[in-house]
């Protein structure tokens, strides 16, 4: 049957903005925004745009069997070029739905073959992976997906002229990637080759225990060389400029005005018969109030809840929460005045009451953390203890210790006061987080002034990348299930914090050499986090996200794996009449 939320039912709820109970009697204030947004919409305009898109789809002459899900997105897609998929959550999520890699995660969070026929064959020394590609893997234009598509895409990723943000995921992993990225070797010397159309051989720089998990990340996806080269500089800017090998094709999108987009079932997908949803429509809606009105009128099937909206809807039978491997933290520019002093950084680390923030303000299930690696990402290879339980960080909220470190740090830096600029995205949760941090730091550390600079998420990303900040409200979400995905960001070659600690760099390199000794590697990873946080306070973790949502009961099996991103491949839509 045809499924679309277009009923006239409305609860009459008219929420015109976002209101949040402020900590320590902070003034109540209306916020408008969206998670990592590019632009804002007023309530009326947001409703009219979303309604126009959804109702147009509902009014069209659709097959009686068509299954449609309408989803709120609080991000906008930035690119369909996998080399630039790291720009925000919406972009990564989209790329993981309309492209396939060699492997993916199933509904039980287990690694399973996607384009590959089976798990890889691995040489005795753990360095050579041989992977067979499905003969029926195809691009949406009918071209076969071949081993050469992977070779081309990976060489393109490490091309220093392209400067792909996720190129670092090849550095120290694939043979010769480090030298290629440094311009010291040719692209053709990368440790990957096509033995034949269906056989890919990969040679690693060192044995890497999590390499198969890395292959679930868009950076390691294939690209159709003819299509990429035909589009030239425009590749990735519109849905029509690409071809897709995943369960869906992207349609109705361009980067210039892309506040709506559609996943359409890819009939050329090798497992198309088991993809139960025909269409997933996305509408960029940063304001929760707007999305909630559309949900109440059955025009949206899945929405995100933030702040007080999460609290208000906890008794709604459609209410769900799920953990996200996302640590929200304060990035620190170590080149800024005062922030090059470790005691000042430790003072700020200990001046923030994390528990009060998640319990009294967010109230959406998120949990306080003083460590960087999220829970439910990785487990001790012997005891199966969560990394977060094994890796205990001493620095935490301690007002007396914070103020003592503050006084010491100011004296060491020759300062009486300190003024800092903190960049933050203009979505609701980032603003709540930023204002709480501002309040905690300025109230608990005398002489500290923090000014919030709010901007679209793309601008915030650019500011952090270019070093145009003192403090940054940001997050890191796991791409795959290993602590190194977080901790390698402490490495001086990867961090945006403008620092270098040789002992951290040495340990990151050591962890890459310990694949054959998983327990020793586990201990190394724990020490990397301890050094980065307890010893140097390189950044300030505050909380791990849990996402509160409303999802219509007719919609099931949207995959939300703990170590990856939302996937609609197994989603289903039913109806009470069925």
CA 136 vs CA 100, 143, 154, 237, 357: distances in Å: 13, 10, 22, 28, 51
Dump pLDDT digits (tens) for 16-55: 222 223 233 332 233 233 333 333 333 333 333 344 444 3
Residue 45 exposed, middle or buried by CB count within 10 Å (0-12, 13-18, 19+): exposed
pLDDT number for residue 563: 65
Distance, CA of 124 to CA of 127 (rounded, Å) = 8
pLDDT for residue 60 is more than 80: no
CA atoms within 13 A on the CB side of 324: 22
pLDDT for residue 491 is more than 60: yes
pLDDT for residue 204 is more than 60: yes
Q: Tell me which CATH code domain 323-545 carries.
A: 3.10.105.10
Distance, CA of 320 to CA of 310 (rounded, Å) = 10
Dump pLDDT digits (tens) for 205-264: 999 989 999 999 999 999 999 999 999 988 989 999 999 999 999 999 988 877 899 999
Distance, CA of 484 to CA of 513 (rounded, Å) = 12
Distance, CA of 148 to CA of 192 (rounded, Å) = 10
Q: DSSP 3-state helix, strand, coil percentages of the chain (rounded to 5)?
A: 35, 20, 45
Residue 105 contacts residue 112 (beta carbons within 8 Å): yes
Distance, CA of 387 to CA of 371 (rounded, Å) = 10
Average pLDDT, the chain: 87
**Cβ neighbours around 257 below 10 Å, total:** 9
pLDDT number for residue 562: 66
Q: Tell me which CATH code domain 98-232 carries.
A: 3.90.76.10
Question: Which is more confident, 59 or 538?
Answer: 538
pLDDT number for residue 64: 54
Q: How confident is the model at residue 306 (pLDDT cuts 50, 70, 90)?
A: confident
Residue 418 contacts residue 407 (beta carbons within 8 Å): no
pLDDT number for residue 287: 86
Q: What mean pLDDT comes out for the span 450-464?
A: 91
Residue linked to tokens 């040495």: 506
Q: Tell me which CATH code domain 23-78+246-322+549-573 carries.
A: 3.40.190.10
- What is the SS3 assignment for 95? helix
Start-end of CATH 3.90.76.10 domains in the chain: 98-232
Start-end of CATH 3.40.190.10 domains in the chain: 23-78+246-322+549-573
Q: What are φ and ψ of residue 274, in 5° steps?
A: -105, 5
Residue linked to tokens 């060389």: 225
Distance, CA of 92 to CA of 78 (rounded, Å) = 9
Which of 35-44, 222-231, 350-359, 456-465 shows the lowest mean pLDDT across its residues?
35-44
Dump pLDDT digits (tens) for 103-123: 998 888 888 999 999 999 999
Dump pLDDT digits (tens) for 421-446: 999 998 888 999 999 999 999 999 99
What's the 3-state SS for 171-211? CCCECCHHHHHCCCCCHHHCCEEEEECCEEEEEECCCCCCH
Start-end of CATH 3.10.105.10 domains in the chain: 323-545
């Amino acid at each position: 049957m045809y499924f679309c939320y277009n009923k006239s039912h409305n609860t009459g709820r008219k929420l015109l903005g976002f209101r949040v109970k402020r900590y320590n009697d902070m003034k109540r204030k209306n916020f408008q925004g969206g998670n990592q947004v590019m632009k804002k919409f007023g309530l009326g305009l947001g409703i009219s745009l979303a309604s126009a898109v959804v109702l147009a789809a509902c009014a069209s002459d659709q097959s009686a069997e068509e299954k449609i899900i309408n989803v709120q997105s609080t991000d906008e897609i930035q690119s369909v070029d996998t080399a630039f998929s790291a720009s925000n959550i919406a972009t990564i999520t989209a790329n993981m739905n309309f492209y396939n890699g060699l492997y993916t995660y199933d509904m039980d969070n287990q690694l399973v073959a996607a384009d590959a026929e089976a798990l890889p064959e691995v040489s005795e020394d753990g360095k050579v992976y041989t992977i067979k590609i499905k003969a029926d893997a195809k691009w949406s234009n009918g071209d076969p997906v071949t081993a050469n598509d992977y070779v081309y895409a990976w060489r393109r990723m490490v091309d220093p002229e392209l400067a792909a943000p996720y190129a670092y995921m090849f550095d120290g992993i694939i043979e010769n990637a480090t030298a290629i990225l440094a311009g010291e070797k040719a692209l053709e010397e990368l440790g990957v080759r096509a033995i034949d159309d269906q056989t890919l051989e990969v040679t690693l720089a060192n044995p890497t225990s999590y390499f198969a998990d890395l292959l679930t990340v868009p950076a390691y996806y294939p690209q159709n060389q003819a299509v990429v080269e035909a589009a030239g500089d425009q590749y990735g800017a519109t849905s029509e400029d690409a071809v897709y090998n995943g369960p869906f094709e992207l349609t109705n999108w361009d980067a210039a005005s892309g506040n709506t987009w559609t996943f359409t079932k890819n009939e050329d997908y090798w497992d198309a018969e088991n993809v139960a949803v025909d269409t997933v429509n996305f509408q960029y809606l940063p304001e929760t109030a707007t999305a909630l009105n559309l949900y109440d009128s059955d025009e949206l099937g899945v929405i995100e809840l933030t702040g007080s909206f999460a609290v208000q809807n906890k008794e709604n039978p459609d209410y769900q929460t799920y953990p996200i491997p996302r640590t929200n933290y304060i990035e620190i520019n170590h080149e800024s005045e005062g922030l090059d002093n470790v005691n000042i950084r430790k003072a700020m680390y200990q001046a923030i009451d994390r528990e009060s923030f998640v319990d009294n303000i967010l109230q959406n299930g998120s949990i306080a953390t003083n460590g960087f690696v999220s829970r439910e990402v990785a487990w001790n290879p012997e005891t199966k203890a969560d990394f977060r339980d094994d890796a205990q960080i001493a620095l935490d909220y301690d007002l007396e210790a914070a103020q003592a470190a503050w006084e010491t740090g100011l004296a060491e830096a020759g300062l009486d006061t300190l003024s800092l600029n903190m960049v933050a995205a203009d979505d609701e949760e980032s603003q709540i987080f930023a204002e709480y941090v501002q309040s905690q730091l300025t109230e608990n550390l005398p002489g500290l002034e923090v000014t919030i600079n709010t901007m679209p998420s793309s601008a915030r990303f650019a500011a952090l990348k270019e070093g145009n900040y003192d403090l940054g409200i940001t997050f890191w979400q796991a791409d795959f299930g290993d602590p190194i995905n977080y901790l390698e960001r402490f490495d001086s070659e990867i961090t945006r914090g403008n620092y270098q600690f040789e002992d951290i760099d040495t340990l990151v390199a050591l962890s890459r050499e310990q694949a054959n000794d998983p327990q020793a590697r586990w201990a190394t990873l724990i020490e990397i986090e301890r050094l980065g946080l307890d010893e140097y306070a390189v950044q300030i973790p505050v909380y791990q996200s849990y996402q509160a949502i409303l999802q219509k009961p007719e919609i099931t099996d949207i995959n939300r794996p703990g170590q990856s991103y939302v996937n609609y491949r197994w989603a289903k839509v039913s109806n009470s009449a069925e």
